[in-house]
Amino acid sequence: MKQALQKAGRGFFLVATLLATVARGDLIAQYSFTATNLDVTLGHPNITASSISNGGALSQCLVNASLAYSTTPVLQVNPNATFASTNVSASFASNNFFQFTITVDPGLTLSLSNLSFNVARGGSSSTRYTGVRTDLTGATNLMEFSIAAVRPTWLVTNLDLSAMPQLQNISGSVTFLFAVATPSSGNSLEFDDITLTGSVIPEPSSLWLTATALLALCGWHARRTN
């Protein structure tokens, strides 16, 4: 009897370990522009991350290796001259943003915990802004702020995503959008080390099926050897 209880206890420990393991915050995707393209640099094996793309109206969205940062290349973006604005919501409305899409493999869900990135103004003139949205959270700006840092000094930015229910248990994809809100097409914003962290786990039905099967197997083994 004692041996059976010990084995059952080990089974419960294994299940608890399984459930705890999937709660970790892992690297989901990182864009650090180590190559001169807009592709993702590092990513999770169960995630497909798109290249960064122009939202439609930016006059420039490219990787620049010639700027005076300690880490180069970096992403350099400029708004369209016709729709240039320091209003973040207006910049989104006029498609002055860049974007990327994260897609989780079938049978899994994605819960996001944090977004971090470095951003700076390409020059000292003019106040410049950025903001972040996703397609899952709609027209709400998850963050928006003026950028005081000027090349080659970065403003390091973090956004906690863990309390946003729309960004938890995602099955499918989520697209992140970054506004480029500057008063002129000649006023750039520059970005580096855009990083998402979170957890990729089996869909709830699959996870509990696995846990139940593991407990049943432990119970069967305990009875068989008792």
- Prediction pTM value: 0.82
Asked if 192 and 117 touch (Cβ cutoff 8 Å), the reply is yes
Domains of the chain by residue range: 25-211
What value does the mean pLDDT take over residues 34-48?
94
Q: pLDDT at residue 206 above 60? A: no
> Cα torsion at 139, 142, 144, 148 (round to 10°)?
-150
Distances (CA, A) of 68 to 122, 152, 167: 10, 6, 35
The CATH number of the structural domain formed by 25-211 is 2.60.120.260
pLDDT of residue 125: 86
CA distance 68 to 153: 9
pLDDT digits (tens, 9 = 90+) for 49-88: 999 999 999 999 999 999 999 989 999 999 999 989 999 9
CA distance 31 to 134: 17
Cα 137 to its chain centre, rounded Å, is 14
